[in-house]
Amino acid sequence: MKLNKEYWNKRYEENKTPWDAGAITTPIKEYIDQLTNKDLKILVPGVGNGYELEYLYENGFKNVFGLDISEEPLKNFLKKNSTFPKDQLILENFFEHNQTYDLILEQTFFCAIDPNLRTLYAEKTYELLNNNGTLAGVLFSFPLTQQNPPFGGSEEEYRTLFGKQFNISTLEVCYNSIKPRKNNELFIIIKK
């Protein structure tokens, strides 16, 4: 299976996005709510329908960027958020992106990429973060599948993957997951 632009466009066109919670999820919302520096430059990769991006922007974070390989969710986002700056929506492959950020928010992007790209994801995230930058968000915690996204993983795998380059300050079961994801999410805060 090729998880390319065409694949993701088709998934969004056919509304085959079962991971989409329909709103920002509690772990990410509560993490954003405790951020005090509204000037942070923030990236939401694999932004999808952009609930996190919308929430950030509505709460005074103006230096926020959404990136997706698929144009469909970006178009959908703009229909619902017409005042959001268009130049802060990036149609690009994450692995080819080259700006830098203070914070990268992870919400169902990691689980959507081919598991063979996970080491490259960790390396690219490290490259995209400014010194002392943070990767924060949720990773799924259920057995790794090979059929199609979302792909799972384990705490042990994530500690090995990110521990090579990052300082892991938090990697624990989410206490505030939404009901359908209860006991299947790990919250991460890792620093460059």
pLDDT per residue as tens digits for the range 22-45: 789 999 999 999 999 999 999 999
Assign 109 to helix, strand or coil. Answer: coil
How far is Cα 60 from Cα 37, in angstroms, rounded to an integer? 10
**Cis omega (within 30 of 0) on the bond before 149?**
no
pTM of the model: 0.89
Classify the C-alpha dihedral 178-183-185-186 as positive or negative. positive
Residue 86 has pLDDT above 60, yes or no: yes
More confident residue, 97 or 152: 97
- Taking the CB of residue 105, how many other CB atoms lie within 10 A of it? 24
Residue 68 has pLDDT above 60, yes or no: yes
Long-range contacts of 149-157 (CB under 8 A, 24+ apart): 149/3, 149/19, 149/111, 149/112, 149/113, 150/19, 150/108, 150/111, 150/112, 151/111, 151/112, 151/113, 151/114, 151/115, 152/111, 153/111, 153/115, 153/118, 155/186
Assign 160 to helix, strand or coil. Answer: helix
Average pLDDT over residues 10-23: 67
How far is Cα 46 from Cα 83, in angstroms, rounded to an integer? 21
More confident residue, 136 or 164: 136
- Taking the CB of residue 36, how many other CB atoms lie within 10 A of it? 5
Q: What is the dihedral of CA 105, 108, 114, 117, to 10 degrees?
A: 20
- Taking the CB of residue 107, how many other CB atoms lie within 10 A of it? 24
How far is Cα 166 from Cα 180, in angstroms, rounded to an integer? 30
Lookup result for tokens 């922007």 = 57
Average pLDDT over residues 177-189: 84
Report residue 182's pLDDT band, with 50, 70 and 90 as the boundaries: confident
pLDDT (tens digit per residue) in 111-135: 888 889 999 999 999 999 999 999 9
